[in-house]
Amino acid sequence: MASVATLLTGATENTGFKGIAGRFDRRNLLSFGVGIQGTMAFVRTDTGAGVQATLDSGVVPVDPAMPGLLQRLLSHAASPDEAAQFRILWQERVRRMLVDHADDPRLVRLATLNDRPDA
């Protein structure tokens, strides 16, 4: 999830973009264990305003074949066809999240942060 946050915001823990002429430094903007209630929080560095986001992936059901296929993959017992089927089912679920449920308020819930999570 931290990689997703970095891709969305450019924020990193202590590596990454050092900025231009003293501006736009993205280092030390990614924090862990800050006691938020959501899955992830986003806070503006200029105003301190922020939101916490909570993902409920259960809103988009897993295909019934996926758990068994995953088990076979993890135990190295899956055939190439089973591995391909799992990839297809996984990508289809991601597509449903991003396309079919793009406006579903149950999938991603946002709540305003009253205080900065690092305060």
Q: Is residue 67 part of a domain?
A: yes
Q: Is residue 28 part of a domain?
A: no
Longest dimension (CA), the chain: 54
Distance CA 104, CA 87 (A): 24
Number of domains in the chain: 1
Q: Is residue 68 part of a domain?
A: yes
Q: Is residue 87 part of a domain?
A: yes
From first to last of its 119 residues, the chain has per-residue pLDDT tens of 888 888 888 888 888 888 899 888 989 898 888 888 888 998 888 898 999 999 999 999 999 999 999 999 999 999 999 999 999 999 999 999 999 999 999 999 999 987 444 44
User: Whole-model pTM above 0.85?
Assistant: no
Q: Is residue 94 part of a domain?
A: yes
Q: Is residue 21 part of a domain?
A: no
Task: List the end-to-end C-alpha distance of the chain, in Å, as a whole number.
Answer: 22
Rounded to the nearest 10 degrees, what angle do helices 80-95 and 66-74 cross at? 130
Distance CA 78, CA 116 (A): 46
Q: Is residue 111 part of a domain?
A: no
Q: Is residue 105 part of a domain?
A: no
Which pLDDT does position 75 carry in this prediction? 98
Residue 90 is part of which domain span? 61-100
Q: In the structure encoding, which two tokens stand for residue 13, read together?
A: 């823990």
